[in-house]
Amino acid sequence: MNLIAQLLPESHVLLGLEAGSKKRVFEQAGQLFETSCGISQTLVFDSLFAREKLGSTGLGQGIAIPHGRIKGLKQATGAFIRLAEAIAFDAPDGRPVAQLFVLLVPEQATEEHLQILSELATRFADRQFREKLATAPDAATVRQLFSA
C-alpha cells in the first residue's frame, strides 16, 4: 500500500461537506479527528490555523493541503474533504478551494512527512486525477484513487 492510502481510512473521506469558510472546514476536520483518533478538536483547529497564518497551504486549481504538527500524535494521519461549495483560501492563484487533504503529523516532523506532502502535491498536479476526485461517487472510490 502506498504512503497516502495508509493515512486515509474510508471514514476519513468526507464528500459534499457543507462548510462555508476555512474556519468551519477546520472545525469539521477537528471533529473528525477527535471522533476517529481521539485527538482534541481544539488542538487540530489551532494547529491548522497557526500553520495557515504563516502562508496559505492552497496549491491552486481549487486544491489545498492544510497540515499541522500535533503534540502527542504517534503517527501521521490524513483526511480528504470535498466541499459542496468552494471557499476562499488565499491560494496563490486566488481561486477558491473545493478539495482539501488535511494532514496531521507528530510534533517531530521527519523526512517521511515531507515526502507525503510532495507525493500529494504531485498527484494533485495531475488534472485527470483532480477531475476524478471531483466526481468520485463515494469514499471507497476516493480511497482507491489515492491507492493507485
Partner 1 sequence: MKIIILGAGQVGASVAESLVSEENDITMVDSDAERLAALQDRLDLRVVTGNAAYPSVLKSAGAEDADLVIAVTQSDQTNLVACKIAQSMFNVPTRVARLRSRDFLEDERLLSPDNFAVDFAICPEQIITDYVVRLIQFPEALQVLDFAGGRVSLVAVRAYEGGLLVSKPIKEMKEHLPLGMEARVAAIYRRDQPIIPTGDTHIQPGDEVFVLAAAEHIRPVLRELRRMMNPVQRIMIAGGGNIGLRVAATLEARYEVKIIEHTRTRADYIASKLKDALVLSGDATDEELLEQENIAEMDLFLALTNDDEDNIMAASLAKRMGCKRVVALINRRAYADMVQGGPIDIGISPAHVSIGTLLAHVRRGDVAAVHSLRRGAAEALELVAHGDAGSSKVVGKRIADIPWPKGVTVAALVRDFDFVESVHVRDDGTVDRRSGRVEIAHGDSVIQSGDHVVVFCVQKKLVRKVEQLFQVGFHFF
State the residues that interact with partner 1 by CB under 8 A.
20-24, 27, 45-46, 49, 51, 53-59, 65, 67, 69, 88, 90, 105, 109, 113-114, 117-118, 121
Q: Is 58 or 78 the residue whose CB approaches partner 1 more closely?
A: 58
Element (DSSP H or E) covering residue 104? strand 97-106
How far is the C-alpha of 38 from the C-alpha of 32, rounded, in Å?
9
67 among known catalytic residues:
yes
Amino acid in the structure at residue 72: G
**Closer Cβ to partner 1, 71 or 140, answer by number:** 71
Residue 141 CB, nearest distance to partner 1 (Å)? 26
Nearer to partner 1, 27 or 34 (CB): 27
User: Residues 113-137, buried b or exposed e (16+ Cβ, 10 A)?
Assistant: beebbeebeebbeeeeebeebeebe
- CA angle 61–124–98, rounded 5-degree value: 45
- 51, 17 Cβ separation under 8 angstroms: no
Which is the catalytic residue, given 12, 22, 67, 143?
67
**Distance separating alpha carbons of residues 30 and 104, to the nearest angstrom:** 10
Alpha-carbon gap, residue 4 to 7, rounded angstroms? 5
Q: Which is nearer to partner 1, 8 or 57 (CB)?
A: 57
Query: Which residues participate in catalysis according to the annotation?
Result: 67
